[in-house]
Structure 1
Amino acid sequence: MKKITVLGVLFLCLSQFSCKEDMLVTTDPTRIGTDLFYKNETQFQQALSGVYGQLQNITNSAYIFQEFPSDNTTLDFNPLDRGGAAGWEAFEFSTVNQGNGEIATVWNLYYSALYNTNFTLEKLASSGLDATVKAPIEGQLKFLRAYFYFNLVQYFGDVILVTSTLQNPNQAFDLLRSPQADVWAQVEKDLKESVTLLPTTYPAAQIGRITKGAALGLLGKTQLTQKKYADAVTTLKQVTGYSLNPVYADNFNPAKKNGPESIFEVQYQGGNDLGEWSTFAYTFAPRLSGAAVTGFANTTPGGRNVPTNDMIAAYETGDLRKDASLKTSYTLNGTVVPIPYVIKFTHAHTITGRTDDNWPVLRYADVLLMMAEAINEQSGPTAEAFGYLNQVRTRAGLAALSGLDKAAFKTAVLKERRVELAFENHRWFDLKRTMTPAELAAFMNAYGAKEKAKPTVDRGGIAFNAQDYVFSDFEYFFPIPAPQILINAKLTQNPGYQ
């Protein structure tokens, strides 16, 4: 593959080619070179696990780019520490620019993962492994590459698209952004190939790996995003073998991981020293809550991803999902503190800072709602479309809907997705999929006006900046990180960030 992060490309390329110049003749005896690795199934499984590990790193901060920019979440404002204002807070306040450090980091995370994905695919193709052994490994890697680009193209629009490794480090300076259509075509290609390569299930010891159902689910979402409604319906109807959990909260219970509704979730494991734990409970707990939320004192909760007043109001009376998703306050030393927080990923754990919560990427409820949306866009609100929507509502303890026209049904599905998939990193992409840039700008400015008039969390007397919650249509895409353009002058910046 070709490297995506140009800095990373140069570093890796130089490390690959420097030995040819005989500038460095010693080797590290504690490491295995690529010429000795990638020789058997065990080593390829280890390389695949490494990419899964990078997926964890990407998921740890995904809420910044997929929830914060939307109307779902805000932050527990700290008037004494404004260090985050130019970084992660900028995604909440619509003040992201090309110098934002979080943008640079996420770009590097994705392209590092893509390099390792592509490199492993190349080694796999030239290996002598039996076809039955190679197929699921190849399928998982191609799904991961598709998933990485699925996110990147929605973050940045045109992005660097490469699927083969560099043969010369100078090629790094010739990398250009590919049109979105080309990126989407590659995502579809990888997913369609994954469908043919992946198994429906795995042995118990491998539960949690990417399956055929996951590839079909993401392919359907890719087609829906591109407004290929007929294709999306056909694809999503092939996602079989799953069912809604009778109890909504069980989808997030670490003791019930990878249950009947789970199509794909990022795996974490707490309670040990293996380095595979998650920390979402600490990231999302109110910043001054101490042990009141996490159960462990002497910690510094992040106060991020706070459910907004607008989000809280979106739940209908009697919706069983609300109490499984958020709380509107916590109690500290006998005092009720009215700061909301997400509880989907807050469960009992044994070691400070090491939680066992997985992160759901695809659930069957998501598939049902996508089918309802795609059918409505194609044929209007048919009985079948209502059936998919109402399966989700009935599980939530709500009355079934009926008698809606096409526009009202579309609104109902979007609202249902908001509360059903709340805080699972779907909202920003849902808004972008269903609105033009101008419509999204108007929507976000209306939300911002409400949040400025009545902030979800008290700001300690600090006034909003004049640019806070001022959303322009060009912010439909994030800026290309400034360091990448400094390194490679052939890269172009997204309009509006010049």
Structure 2
Amino acid sequence: MKNKYLIGSLMCAMVIAVLTSSCKKLLEQTPQNSTYSEVFWQSSRDLNSAIAGNYALLRAAANSGTYNPSPRYYMYGDAVAKSYFTMQYVGDGLENIQNGDYTFIYNLNSLANWTSYYKTIAMSNIVLSKVPGVPEDKLTDVTNPAQFKRKIMGQALFIRALSYFMMTRVWGDVPLVTEAYEDPISAPHLPRSPKADVMKQIEKDCHDAIGMLDWGYTNTAEAHITASKGSVYALLAHLYLWRATMTDVRSNTPIAADVASADTTLTAVIAKGGYTLTDTSKYYDTFVGRSNEGIFELNMSENTKEGSSWSIANMFLRSNYIAYNSDNSRNYVNTGYLNDHFYKLTKDWQWVWTGSQWVWTEVSVKTIDSLDVRYRKNFDYRGTDRPTCIKYHNVVYRNAGQLQDAYVSNNMIIFRLSDMKLLQAEVALYQGNTGKAIDIINSFRKRYGASPDAQLATDLTKDQVMDEYILERGKEMYLEGHIFYDLLRTRKYETFVPWLSSTRFAQEGFYWPVYPSLFSDNNLLKQTSYWLGKI
């Protein structure tokens, strides 16, 4: 194909044909080629199938990776921040990304390849192109055909916006495609658009989607796993904070207008979304999915046979969670992460050298805060040198009798209420309201039963509170695809990402290269600037 990241009507024919048979299994489909665009777009079932296909493509993109289980959503957002967990060598070179080396051929072919995102975007563009022309008198089985069409289009806009947001955080500048091309052969070659333009398009798509979607769901089967107003507001909040801090990496002063927009957006989603925090006694419910805390998730439930045998959990879980797994898991949690994040300050008397004499002095000593629910629930083998993460361990055996064919039945959580509430502390810090940020952080520690000695004092400086904020994000959002981006926004990357120096950061060396094969048919594409001459 002339343009490898534009798939146009060929993708439409393939995906739509797949989805006319079922909307339940959003991922495990076999492409067919017997259905064509001219006989589609004739009923509400067609439109529902098309948007189901759009979600399926988004999920496939987020879950794709190398030939070993390595979902890109977590590789980009978590794995590259090496201080949080370690990937052992197994022959695929994936562990190299934890040293800031993205040049290994398997990683270039998979994680540096943006094709799967453009498949998702192409489907969104097709939906947005076709749905307005569907005659409302064809939609006889829906109460309000005009509203139904708006809902479908609002979801397609959200999926396109989310796809571009995921991409711009990984590559920065990316080609901006917003048209559906009927003939992919004649589709134009496009260069990479500046990230500022990409973020402007994301913002526009979100604002358009807000006018088409509702806060809640009339169909409970769609709750949390399809887009709502709350999903869009959550995406906007992240967009504004990313744009505020990452538009110009040479500046450490956030863009005040974007911080203010993030503030009002967070207030709206928290106040109007109807979301509630999960009771800590039912902690794992949030990560199984579709809890009242969930704002947007990608469905990966075995209830519809959509669990994953290639989940991020497969990289951590040992034999007592998946019977045939090794006790030497691919990934393990760094003990330093646990010690640095889950700590409390206790008083002790020690001899301290003042420079001229030893003095018996009362000092504060850091010890593990083992009371925090997140410490107890998220990690196992804590007393060893290789703890493991069990945040996602809802394993279902399709062959239960022989404990074979294990599928992890945990949704991929993209946005949830705790995320939004913590982001309010970041906004407060950017706005100089240190006291508010302290209150938010302390409320999280109290909620999870942390030791009173883990509470922050009220006289900390702004920079000290920012340090504690990034620790709190590291506890709350562990292995949810956010940590690396949090570190970039807050400029705390050097503490937790050993390979990312301030010099490399200023060169935007945190962005990924583009798979070189994508250049072969498009001479307008250019390599990510940091990686020029390195690949």
Task: Check if 1:65 corresponds to 2:76.
Answer: yes
The corresponding residue for 1:467 is: none
Aligned partner (choices 110, 113, 119) of residue 126 of structure 2:
119
Distance 2:281 2:135 in 1: 45
| AA partner of residue 236 (structure 2) | L
Alignment CA distance shift 1:169-1:217 (3 Å): closer
Distance 2:489 2:149 in 1: 35
8 Å Cα contact 1:160-1:175 kept in structure 2: yes
3-state DSSP class of the match of 1:487? Answer: coil
Q: CA deviation at 1:248?
A: 6.9
Q: CA deviation at 1:348?
A: 4.1
Task: Check if 1:494 corresponds to 2:511.
Answer: no
Aligned partner (choices 509, 518, 523) of residue 475 of structure 1:
509
| AA partner of residue 223 (structure 1) | Y
3-state DSSP class of the match of 2:239? Answer: helix
Aligned partner (choices 221, 224, 228) of residue 205 of structure 1:
221
8 Å Cα contact 1:217-1:367 kept in structure 2: yes
Alignment CA distance shift 1:405-1:199 (3 Å): same
> Share of identical aligned residues, percent?
23
3-state DSSP class of the match of 2:523? Answer: coil
The corresponding residue for 2:335 is: 309
Q: Deviations over 1:338-365 (max 9, x none)?
A: 4322101012423222222112111111
Task: Check if 1:181 corresponds to 2:181.
Answer: no
Aligned partner (choices 48, 52, 58) of residue 45 of structure 1:
48
Please show how residues 389-468 of structure 1 align to structure 2 within 5 Å. 389-398=441-450, 399=452, 400-401=455-456, 402-435=458-491, 440=493, 444-445=497-498
The corresponding residue for 2:4 is: 7
Alignment CA distance shift 1:311-1:172 (3 Å): farther
Q: CA deviation at 1:284?
A: 2.1
Aligned partner (choices 281, 285, 310) of residue 316 of structure 2:
285
8 Å Cα contact 1:72-1:308 kept in structure 2: yes
Alignment CA distance shift 1:387-1:39 (3 Å): farther
8 Å Cα contact 1:270-1:276 kept in structure 2: yes
The corresponding residue for 2:389 is: 342
* Greater shift in the superposed pair: 361-370 or 277-286: 277-286
| AA partner of residue 387 (structure 1) | D
8 Å Cα contact 2:77-2:484 kept in structure 1: yes
Alignment CA distance shift 1:475-1:214 (3 Å): same
3-state DSSP class of the match of 2:297? Answer: strand
Structure ranking higher on relative contact order (CA contacts 8 Å, 6+ apart): 1
Q: Deviations over 1:149-206 (max 9, x none)?
A: 1110110011001100235545545211000100000111111122222111112222
Aligned partner (choices 253, 260, 278) of residue 230 of structure 1:
260
Distance 1:146 1:72 in 2: 30
| AA partner of residue 389 (structure 2) | V
Distance 1:63 1:374 in 2: 25
The corresponding residue for 2:354 is: none
The corresponding residue for 1:144 is: 159
Distance 1:199 1:302 in 2: 47
3-state DSSP class of the match of 1:346? Answer: coil
* Greater shift in the superposed pair: 69-78 or 364-373: 69-78
Q: Deviations over 1:314-353 (max 9, x none)?
A: 2221322012212236xxxxxx974322101012423222
Alignment CA distance shift 1:404-1:442 (3 Å): closer
Q: CA deviation at 1:285?
A: 2.8
3-state DSSP class of the match of 1:158? Answer: coil
Aligned partner (choices 333, 341, 353) of residue 406 of structure 2:
353
Q: CA deviation at 1:148?
A: 0.7
3-state DSSP class of the match of 1:160? Answer: coil
3-state DSSP class of the match of 1:475? Answer: coil
Q: Deviations over 1:11-52 (max 9, x none)?
A: 866999xxxxxxxxxxx9972211111222111111111111
Q: Deviations over 1:51-81 (max 9, x none)?
A: 1112222332111111111135444524xx4
Alignment CA distance shift 1:305-1:248 (3 Å): farther
Q: CA deviation at 1:6?
A: 3.1
3-state DSSP class of the match of 2:528? Answer: coil
The corresponding residue for 1:484 is: 518
Distance 2:214 2:11 in 1: 38
Alignment CA distance shift 1:495-1:347 (3 Å): same
3-state DSSP class of the match of 2:124? Answer: helix
Distance 1:122 1:371 in 2: 37
8 Å Cα contact 1:73-1:308 kept in structure 2: yes
Please show how residues 71-110 of structure 1 align to structure 2 within 5 Å. 71-78=82-89, 81-82=90-91, 84-85=92-93, 88-97=94-103, 99=105, 100-103=107-110, 106-110=113-117
8 Å Cα contact 1:270-1:278 kept in structure 2: no
Aligned partner (choices 259, 262, 267) of residue 291 of structure 2:
259
3-state DSSP class of the match of 1:9? Answer: coil
Alignment CA distance shift 1:169-1:188 (3 Å): same
Q: CA deviation at 1:422?
A: 0.5
Please show how residues 208-219 of structure 1 align to structure 2 within 5 Å. 208=224, 209-219=226-236
8 Å Cα contact 2:9-2:180 kept in structure 1: no
Distance 2:88 2:410 in 1: 26
Distance 2:147 2:163 in 1: 25
Distance 2:447 2:198 in 1: 37
Q: CA deviation at 1:308?
A: 2.1
> Where does structure 1 lack aligned partners over 5 or more consecutive residues?
17-27, 330-335, 449-469
8 Å Cα contact 2:100-2:500 kept in structure 1: no
Q: CA deviation at 1:475?
A: 2.3
> Where does structure 2 lack aligned partners over 5 or more consecutive residues?
14-30, 64-70, 137-144, 245-257, 344-368, 399-404
Which has more strand, going by share of residues? 2
